[in-house]
C-alpha cells in the first residue's frame, strides 16, 4: 500500500490533536480500513510533511495526533498560471497538473472567447488539494475566483512577467534560455483563441513575452502542461 497523505489546514506541533472532516474520516476508516493507531502522512501547506497517528474516525469526523515532522516545507517558485476555463473535465485536468508541476497560484480568467462563463471554485480547489496529496507535495496552490482578463490586467504588477503561449507563433519551440528570473505568470488562452483586442493589449504590455509551444497548435489543457514544463526547466526549480 502506498503512503496515505492528507492535507489538513490546521496548526501543527508535536503531540497536537488535529481534527479530520467527515470526508477524511470516511476515507481512512471505510475506504482504507484503518484503525486507531495507524500512521499516515499529513501536511498543512506551511510546515512540511508530518507523521500522524489515527486516534478516531467515524461518521461525524475523527482525529489524528501529530507525531513529528518528516520532511521540510517545499514551496514552489513564484509562478502563476492564468488560463481560460474550458470543458469541466479538462479544466479539472489543468488545475490538477498545475498543482503537480509547481504553480504557486491558479487564476481562471474570462476572455472574449471563453466557452465557460462560470466555475466551481471550491471543486477546483479540492482538485488542487488532491493533486498535492498524490504527488508528494507540501504546498497547495490557491485557486482564485473567475475574473475578466481585462480586469486582471488592469491591476497587473509590471514586475511580474507574463509568458504568453500564443498559438499564432506555432513553430520551433523556444527554450526560454536567457530570460530573467523573478516572478512570472504563464498565460493560456481559450479554445476559441484570442480576440484581436486582447492580442493588441497583450502585445502592448512590456512585461509580456510571447512564446511558441511547438509546430502544432495545442489544446488548452496540453498547452498549460507544456508551458509550465518549459518554464520550470528554464527558470524554475527543475534545474
Helix (H, G, I), strand (E, B) or coil at 159: coil
Under CATH, which number does the domain 79-235 receive?
3.40.1280.10
188 Cα distance to chain centroid = 14
Sign of CA dihedral 134, 141, 129, 88: negative
**Exposed (0-12), middle (13-18) or buried (19+): which is 183, by Cβ within 10 Å?**
middle
Q: At residue 1, does pLDDT exceed 50? A: no
* pLDDT tier, 168 (very low <50, low <70, confident <90, very high otherwise): confident
Q: Which residues pair with 54 in a beta bridge?
A: 64
Residues of the chain with CATH 2.40.240.20: 5-71
Tens-place pLDDT, residues 6-19: 999 999 999 999 99
Q: What is the pLDDT of residue 178?
A: 83
Cα(179)–Cα(106) distance, integer angstroms = 22
The reported pTM is 0.93
Tens-place pLDDT, residues 109-151: 999 998 777 899 999 999 999 999 999 999 999 999 999 999 9
Under CATH, which number does the domain 5-71 receive?
2.40.240.20
Tens-place pLDDT, residues 22-78: 999 999 999 999 999 999 999 999 999 999 999 999 888 999 999 999 999 999 999
- Measured in degrees and rounded to the nearest 5, phi and psi for residue 90 equal -75, -30
Q: Which residues pair with 18 in a beta bridge?
A: 64
Residues of the chain with CATH 3.40.1280.10: 79-235
Amino acid at each position: 500500500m502506498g503512503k496515505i497523505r492528507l492535507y489538513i489546514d490546521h496548526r501543527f506541533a508535536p503531540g497536537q490533536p488535529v481534527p479530520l472532516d467527515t470526508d477524511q474520516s470516511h476515507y481512512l476508516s471505510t475506504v482504507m480500513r484503518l484503525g486507531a493507531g495507524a500512521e499516515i502522512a499529513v501536511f498543512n501547506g506551511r510546515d512540511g510533511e508530518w507523521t500522524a497517528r489515527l486516534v478516531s474516525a467515524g461518521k461525524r469526523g475523527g482525529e489524528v495526533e501529530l507525531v513529528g515532522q518528516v520532511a521540510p516545507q517545499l514551496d514552489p517558485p513564484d509562478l502563476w498560471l492564468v488560463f481560460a476555463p474550458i470543458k469541466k473535465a479538462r479544466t479539472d485536468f489543468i488545475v490538477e497538473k498545475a498543482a503537480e508541476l509547481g504553480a504557486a497560484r491558479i487564476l481562471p480568467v474570462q476572455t472574449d472567447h471563453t466557452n465557460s462563463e462560470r466555475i466551481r471554485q471550491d471543486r477546483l480547489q479540492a482538485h488542487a488539494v488532491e493533486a498535492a496529496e498524490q504527488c508528494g507535495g507540501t504546498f497547495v496552490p490557491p485557486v482564485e475566483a473567475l475574473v475578466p482578463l481585462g480586469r486582471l490586467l488592469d491591476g497587473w504588477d509590471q514586475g511580474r512577467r507574463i509568458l504568453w503561449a500564443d498559438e499564432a507563433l506555432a513553430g520551433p519551440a523556444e527554450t526560454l534560455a536567457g530570460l530573467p528570473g523573478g516572478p512570472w505568470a504563464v498565460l493560456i488562452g481559450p479554445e476559441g483563441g484570442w480576440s484581436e483586442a486582447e492580442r493588441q493589449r497583450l502585445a502592448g504590455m512590456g512585461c509580456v513575452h510571447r512564446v511558441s509551444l511547438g509546430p502544432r497548435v495545442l489544446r488548452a489543457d496540453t498547452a498549460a502542461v507544456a508551458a509550465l514544463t518549459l518554464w520550470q526547466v528554464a527558470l524554475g526549480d527543475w534545474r
